[in-house]
A and B are shown apart, each in its own frame.
Chain A
Amino acid sequence: MTAIALEVEKVAVHFGGLVALSDMNFTVGEGEIVSLIGPNGAGKTTAFNVVTGFLDPTHGAVSYRGTSLNGLKPHQIADLGLIRTFQRTSVFPNDTVYDNLLVGLHRQGRVSLLEAIMGLPRARSSQRRLRERASELVEWVGLERRAHDLAGSLSYGEQRLVGVALALAAEPSMLLLDEPVSGMNASETHTFVQLVRNIRDRGVTILLVEHDMPMVMSVSDRIVVLNYGRIIAEGTPNVIRNDPAVIEAYLGQGATRA
């Protein structure tokens, strides 16, 4: 058993009378790829928002590497190395792809403001390092030909890649991907799966929310299934694929062959 990276304990979220999540417990081990699946409205994105501090849970606690995340602001959670991507708004549309990544590198570029204004050598060399790093990231996600196009002008699938590169720019120790392959075609998805594996091989823990079942089944170490705000099953892809409750609620009969 590897060390636990993320621990979600008895988390519940109520929006007025609506129970979006109730009593959710799960853990993600260091270096694991865990997927969160379930029908629309099951609470997957809510769970993401709680973990990354965009939403305060009504009850329960979340901790990352032993640090409690309750009450922390999103940027403080990002400072702990927990970085997320978004379903829809994944880029800064009016900046070039390259500039997007420079914004993403914010956590790396911390020279004092005075140094930056005076143009001191340390600030200059830090700028140079950031530019090199941004170029590397652009190449890594395979967008070097679009580097100087406005991010908003890219195709939907390409924008998702920029979103992931942006998250990677923040040097995560754990990456939370919210439906990263929606809007991608089969070959883009295939490349993306390789990318996710590469990221994990660099020692980054991954929590994934996704509807693309073949993708989830092929990439995940473990899967957590949510329905109506509750966890109905948890286990390896093989276990999940054959779990009657999951088939009933979400996968349907056809998925057993997937």
Chain B
Amino acid sequence: MKSAIAILTVVAFASVPLWLRDPYLMNALITTGIFIIGAMSLNLLLGFTGQLSLGHIAFFGIGAYVSALTSLGFDVGLPFGFRIVHVPWPPIVGFVLAIVVAGLCGYLVGLLSFRVRGAYFVIVTISFAEVVRLVALNWVELTQGPLALTNIPSITIGLPGLGDLTLRTKLQNYYLVLAVAVVTYVLISRLVHSHFGRAMRGLMENETLAVSVGIDVTRTLTLAAVISAGIAGAAGSLYAHYIRIIDPEVFAFINTVTMVIMVITGGKGSLAGPVVGGMIFGLLPVFLRPIMAPEAQWIAYGGVLIVILFVLPRGIVPSLALRFRKPKSRAETLAPVAFSERDAKEHA
């Protein structure tokens, strides 16, 4: 049933460009998709390990800058007379480097802060995002500071036998984002259903007990942070090559908050949660724009958030899942195991 819903959802999303021609709406869908990927990465930490990263946009922004700089090239002076000159590489290399560098940052932040965890992790991540924002703002030689990095090239994909395809149009970018989102979803799904995912859940629910059965806290949490940050970096790279201009405002705290809201309303700890929450809060501005000023829209978001959490406190997806779950009959609770009977007799 679940996989049927998943396939239907993908097909529905894939068919959108067939009937939707409005470029404004397409643009909204693409940026929403990119933010949903970011929200999915946040959910991996928040929903499955219980660690709230309130600086998650840092990994997204680092991905955006790394990818943009890789494909634009740069020439910066370093202390002691060193210079780094980088000639532009293809954007697809930037995409990969964005994942690697963001993942590396995730590793450092995770390693530093998981020793103390909880509120400290929240504080470390906020500070990290702010530091990265200040670097992006003030290292003008590298990032152009508030003047922004402009003319970022679109992503080019080499197709075997067909030559290169540069993704310039909204249609092409839509499918690119959809593809990355699907891959991310599958990746996270596999991850949380593996022994690694169970280790994360165990740590979240009862850390002492989890440790006593041999789960390594630092390794598990750091790995989750690396993967989460890497995915956020990938989303940032997509963003940079789609919007084609980035400035330090990408690190704004409000962007993290948007992702957190997407995860919480959709339902943290559920795979589909960030997708549902992301669609709501990604597309809300589109529908509110004709009737409200941008400042008033923020108030409306707050209102929607409160209403959703009041009616469905666990978030939309888990609450609905709970409501529609059929009670399992006792008989089918345990899959028959060939040798369990013998084993039971042995110990009787």
Contacts and interface: CB of A to CB of B under 8 A. Distances in A.
Contacts of B212: 52, 74, 78, 83-86, 167, 170
A110 B208 CA distance: 20
Contact of A86 (B187, B194, B208, B340): B208
A166 B206 contact: no
Interface stretch (B34-42, B255-263, B327-335): B327-335
A179 to B, nearest CB: 15
Given A52-B212, A86-B212, A131-B335, A110 B330 contact: no
Interface stretch (B17-25, B91-99, B197-205, B246-254): B197-205
Interface residues of A, number: 54
A103 B208 contact: no
Given A136-B343, A139-B340, A139-B344, A116 B195 contact: yes
Contacts of A110: 195
B337 interface: yes
A116 B196 contact: yes
Contact of A116 (B191, B340, B344, B347): B191
A212 interface: no
Chain A binding surface, main DSSP class: helix
Interface string A83-104: 1111001111111001100111
A123 B195 CA distance: 10
Contacts of B293: none
Chain B binding surface, main DSSP class: helix
A167 B190 contact: no
A1 interface: no
A13 interface: no
Given A116-B190, A136-B340, A103 B198 contact: yes
A95 B192 CA distance: 14
A92 B209 contact: yes
B81 interface: no
A142 to B, nearest CB: 9
B347 A89 contact: no
B213 interface: yes
Interface in B127-168: none
A26 interface: no
Interface string A53-94: 010000000000000000001110011000111100111111
B194 to A, nearest CB: 4
Interface stretch (B100-108, B171-179, B214-222): B214-222
Contacts of B344: 139-140
Contacts of A186: none
Given A95-B201, A109-B195, A169 B335 contact: no
Interface of B: 187, 190-191, 194-196, 198-199, 201-202, 205-206, 208-217, 223, 328, 330, 333-335, 337, 339-340, 343-344, 347
11 contacts: A75-B211, A91-B209, A92-B209, A92-B210, A99-B198, A106-B215, A132-B340, A135-B334, A138-B334, A169-B213, A198-B347
